[in-house]
Chains A and B, each alone.
Chain A
Amino acid sequence: MSEQIEMVKICKVIEEAESVRTFIFSHKMDFAPGQFIMVWIPRIDEKPFTVSYHTQEEFGITVFRLGEFTKRLYSMNVGDQIGVRGPYGNGFNVSGKACAIGGGVGMAAIVTLATERDDIVIVQGAKTAVSLLYRERFPNMVMFTDDGTEGRRGFPTDYLSQLQEKHKFEKIYTCGPEIMMKKVLDFCLSRGVQCEASLERYMKCGVGVCGQCVCDGFRVCTDGPVFSADVLSKINDFGRYSLSKSGKKVNV
C-alpha cells in the first residue's frame, strides 16, 4: 500500500462507449481485483476509482463523463499526468463456479476479476446498446439492455433464477448500482449462494480514519469495498443510505 501520491502519465486512451473512456498508464501496481485507488487532479479534486485494466506493466481506469472531476479527466490526452495513491481496501475472494454481475461504472471491478478468472460468467446490464462496455475484451459476456437494443431486454436481476438454474453458480459477485446489488444479495441469500458485492461511497482519506464512507459500523475504504453476504445482510445502510459530502445521510 502506498500512502504517497505518485504522478503517472497517460499512455493510451480507449473509447469504450458514449462518454466513457479508459485511460491506460504504464505504471506497475500491485493490485487485486476489487481494490480501488485514489485519483488526484491537482487543484480540482481527488476521487476513488476502481482499476478496470491491470497487467504486469500497466493499469487503467474507466471514466464516465459525469461531473466536474470526470469531465476534466475524460478530456485528458496521452502524455497528461494525474496523481494516484493506493491501491486500498480488500479484494474479491475468488473461489468456486462463479458469476459476476455488473452495471455502469461497476463493470470495472467485474472485468479485472474476470481477467484473472476466465471461467467466470460475466453479466452486464446497461441502458442501451451503445452504453455496453468491454465487449471486445469479453466477447462471451451475457448482456442485458433496458431497451432491448442489444442482448436481452430488461435487468440482469430479472433473470437471476434462469441464470442460476442453467449454470448452478456457487458464488455471485456484483458491482454496480446499489439497488441492483441489493437484489443480487437478496437472491443469493434466498438460494444459499455465496455473494460478494463491491460498494461505492464518497470518500475522503481512503485509509480508514475519517469516517466519511461508513456503512453502519463498516468503513467501505478499509473494511471493504468488497463485503460478503453475511456482512451485507447485517448492514442496514446497504441499499438505503450513504453519507453526502457534508456527512448527511442521503438515499442511495
Chain B
Amino acid sequence: MKPPMTINLSADICGIKLVNPTILPAGFLGTTKEILKRVANSGAGAVTIKSISSVARDGHKNPTVLMYEAGMLNAVGYSNPGVKAAANEFSNIGEIGVPVIASIIGTEADDFLKVIDGFGDLLSKSKDSSSRFSAIEIPLSCPHTPGFGTLAGQSTPEATSEIVSAVRKKCGLPLFVKLSPNVPDISKLAMVAQDAGADAITAVNTMGPGMVINIDAREPVLDFKVGGVSGAALRPIAVRCVFDIYKAVEIPIIGVGGISSGRDAIEMMMAGASTVGIGTAIYDRGIDVFKGVTDEMSDWMTNNGVGSLNEIIGAAHK
C-alpha cells in the first residue's frame, strides 16, 4: 500500500504567500475588517477589500444585485465610504490574518493616485507586510458605473497603459490589473498592462452588461437597468480569457469568473491561473465555500496523484 499523499495547496502570487489559492475578489463582502476576518477564518487564502475611491460614493439605487438562474447581475455602482474612512477601517489590517488586496478606483490616472495617497502607510512597501496591504488592484473594467471602468474608456490599450504606468510609479506594492472580458482581444490588453508595469492580471471582471426585465412590471429589475454578469454564465468566458492571457504574458494570473467548486478552480488553473477568485458562489455555498473548494481541490489532487499546484497551472496548454 502506498503511503498517503501529501497535498500542498500553498500558492504564490508575485511573492505573496497564500495557504491556498482561493481569493475573495473585490466587490464581495469586503466592506469591513471584521467581515474579512470571517472570510479568512472560513478558508480564503487572501481577501480583497471592496473598491475604494478618493471620495465617498452612494452607488446606484436598489435593486443593485439580482440573482438569476445562471448567476448574478449587479450594478452596485461602486458604493464605498471613500479612502479616508477606508484607511481608518483597515488600520489594523494584520488582524485579518491573510494577505489583503486593496482594490482602488479612479475616474482618471490622477484620481487613482489620490486614493493611494489617502491610504498612506497602508500601501507603503517599506512597512512590515503584516501592517499593510499585500498588493494593489486596479479594476479598469467595471461595466456599470459611469465615470469608471469600461464606461469611462479605461479598458482601451491607451487608457490601460496610462493608468497602470501612473499607479506603477506611485506604489511599490505588487500591482494587479483587473481586465474586462468585453474586449476584442484580452491578451493584447494584458500585454499592454504588463508592459506598463503590472505584476499580475486579474481576469476577469463581470461581463456584459446584461439586463433582466420583470415582465409583470414591464421594467428592467436593476435600477441602473443593466449590470455586470457573474457566476456560472461567466465561467467558460473567464476560462477562455485566462487561457489566452497565459499564452501572451509572463506575469501570473488571478482567474476569476463563476468558480464554485474544486473542479472549477482546477479548470481555471489549468487554463493558466496561479490563484482563483470566488465571489458569486458565496450565494449558493455560503462563506464556507472557500474551505469547500480547497477541500475538493485536495481530494481531486489526491485521486490524480498531483502533489502541488505547480503541476496543474497551465496544464491545459501542453
* A211 near B282: Cβ-Cβ < 8 Å: no
Q: Is the CB of A205 within 8 A of B31?
A: no
Q: How far is A46 from B60 in the complex, measured between Cα atoms in Å? A: 11
Residue of B nearest to A210 (CB): B65
**Extra A-B contacts (8), CB below 8 Å, given A211-B35, A214-B32, A248-B85:** A5-B63, A46-B63, A46-B223, A47-B62, A208-B286, A211-B32, A236-B34, A243-B31
B145 to chain A, nearest CB (A): 14
The majority secondary structure among interface residues of chain B is loop
Give complex CA distance A210, B27 in Å.
Answer: 7
Is B16 engaged at the interface, CB distance under 8 Å to the other chain? no
Binds B, one of A12-20, A37-45, A150-158, A169-177: A37-45
By a CB distance below 8 angstroms, the chain A residues around B308 are none
- In the complex the two chains form, what is the Cα distance from A207 to B30 in whole Å? 15
Bound together, the chains give a CA A47 to CA B82 distance in angstroms of: 24
Residues of B within 8 A of A208 (CB): 282-283, 286-287
B64-97: CB near A (< 8 Å → 1, else 0) gives 1111100010101001111001000100000000
Residues of chain B lying within 8 A (CB to CB) of residue A212: 31, 79
Given contacts A7-B216, A42-B217, contact A214 B31 (CB under 8 A): yes
Task: Point out the residue from B59, B63, B280 that lies within 8 Å of A209, measured CB to CB.
Answer: B280
Binary A-proximity of B114-150 (CB < 8 A = 1, otherwise 0): 0000000000000000000000000000000000000
- Contact among B31, B64, B282 for A247, CB-based, below 8 A: B31
17 contacts between A and B (CB under 8 A): A7-B217, A42-B214, A44-B61, A83-B214, A205-B64, A207-B67, A207-B283, A208-B283, A208-B286, A211-B31, A217-B37, A219-B29, A246-B59, A247-B31, A247-B50, A247-B79, A247-B81
Within 8 Å of chain B (Cβ to Cβ): is A128?
Answer: no
Closest chain B residue to A39, Cβ basis: B62
Task: List chain B residues, Cβ under 8 A from A38.
Answer: 62-63
Top 3 nearest A-B pairs (CB, nearest first) are: A217-B38, A205-B65, A46-B62
A214-B34, A247-B81 given; A43·B219 CB < 8 A? yes
Given contacts A42-B219, A246-B57, contact A204 B81 (CB under 8 A): no
A245 and B65: CB pair below 8 A? no
Q: A246-B56, A247-B81 are in contact. Are A3 and B30 (CB under 8 A)?
A: no
User: A72 at interface (Cβ–Cβ under 8 A)?
Assistant: no
User: What is the CA–CA distance of A207 and B85 in the complex, to the nearest angstrom?
Assistant: 25
Closest to B30 in A: A211
Indicate if the CB atoms of B50 and A81 lie closer than 8 Å. no
Q: Which residues on the B side are within 8 Å of A216 (C-beta)?
A: 32, 34-35
The interface residues of chain A lying within 8 Å CB-to-CB of B311 are none
- Report the separation of the CA atoms of residues A183 and B69 in the bound assembly, to the nearest whole angstrom: 43
A246-B58 in contact given A209-B65, A210-B65, A211-B31 (Cβ < 8 Å): yes
Q: Hey, what's the 0/1 contact readout for B280-315 against A, CB within 8 Å counting as 1?
A: 101100110000000000000000000000000000
A205 to B217, CA, bound (A): 20
Q: Check: B279 CB closer than 8 A to any chain A CB.
A: yes
Whether A249 is near chain B, meaning CB under 8 Å from some CB there, is yes
Question: Could you tell me the distance between the alpha carbons of A248 and B287 in the complex, rounded to whole angstroms?
Answer: 23
Measured between beta carbons, the chain B residues less than 8 angstroms from A81 are 216-217
Contacting residues, chain A, for B41 (C-beta < 8 A): 217
**What separation, in Å, do the CA atoms of A212 and B27 have in the docked complex?**
10
Q: Which residues does chain A contribute within 8 Å of B81, judged by CB atoms?
A: 244, 246-249
Is B221 at the interface (CB under 8 A from chain A)? yes
Shortest beta-carbon distance, B48 to chain A, in Å?
Answer: 11
**Chain A's nearest CB lies how many Å from the CB of B25?**
11
Partner of A210, one of B29, B68, B223: B29
Query: A5: which B residues are within 8 A, CB to CB?
Result: 63, 214, 217, 221
